[in-house]
Homo-oligomer: A and B are copies of this chain.
Amino acid sequence: MTSVDSLQAALNYQFVDKTLLDQALTHRSHSAHHNERLEFLGDSVLNFVVAALLFKRFPKIDEGDLSRLRANLVKQSSLADIATRLCLSQYLRLGEGELKSGGFRRPSILADALEAVLGAVFLDGGFDAAQKVIAGQYESILVHVDPKTLGKDPKTLLQELLQARKFDLPAYTVIATHGAAHNQLFEVECQIPKLEIKVSAPGSSRRAAEQSAAELAIAAIHALAPAKGSRPARARKSTQLSLPVAVSQENK
């Protein structure tokens, strides 16, 4: 385990009581004095501070959008990304079993430990300290948040994209199913006649295949008419990387 000094520097917070930080970095597989109570506390201070940051940053969006944005910013993979940036895995105390199975790389363990560290900051330095640390970690993330799209699923995004252009909704059709009852693979086609787009994608459920097909359709639309600021070459490349995609050369 590396000294926690560099972690404190990355958090921009110095603990008065360093045993709190040690506990926050201790997984239950390591010892009984583990981080799960701190994680409970950290999860709630994090949810609140991110809510307050979003409330202030986006004064016009409604509470449904605020909830969606927050859910996306505090979901496990987002927290694991922050934990990775902080090199949190270097400081974790894991039991033998978790160490051997690579637990220090597991997103759930990283996300939980990050929450526990935030809970420890709150206990050690009070609310203002926790708020400052959380705001510091989310500063660079919030700059890139697009409240219209972040956290929306591809089908919703595609629908909104088409509605904005006054086009009809896309049509999804199951064109094939493979495999036995409990292990089926669905292939779904997404058609947008107005744009002569017809793409298909596989998925382990009809719903999943529809979402993947919608993602390809969005890529196809961007390839036809690249969004401002994005390079056409890049958009086209991403379309070609995807599976069976038929895109007409002309936009009607």
Residues of A whose CB lies within 8 Å of any CB of B are 36-37, 39-41, 44-45, 47-48, 51-52, 55, 62-63, 66-67, 122, 127-128, 131
Contacts and interface: CB of A to CB of B under 8 A. Distances in A.
Nearest to A39: B63
Contact of A63 (B40, B51, B131): B40
Contact of A45 (B37, B48, B122): B48
Contacts of A37: 55, 62-63, 66
A27 to B, nearest CB: 13
User: 8 tightest A-B contacts by CB?
Assistant: A44-B51, A48-B48, A40-B63, A44-B48, A36-B63, A127-B127, A40-B66, A41-B55
A44 B52 contact: yes
B36 A40 contact: no
Nearest to A60: B37
A58 to B, nearest CB: 10
A131 to B, nearest CB: 8
A41 B48 CA distance: 8
A252 to B, nearest CB: 39
Nearest to A40: B63
Contacts of A48: 44-45, 47-48
A51 B62 contact: no
Contacts of A131: 127
A39 B48 CA distance: 12
A39 B62 CA distance: 11
Contact of A67 (B40, B45, B52, B128): B40
Q: Which of A36, A41, A44 has the most CB of B within 10 A?
A: A44
Given A40-B51, A48-B48, 14 more contacts: A36-B62, A36-B63, A37-B55, A37-B62, A37-B63, A40-B66, A41-B51, A41-B55, A44-B48, A44-B52, A45-B48, A45-B51, A45-B52, A127-B128
A67 B45 CA distance: 14
A40 B36 CA distance: 26
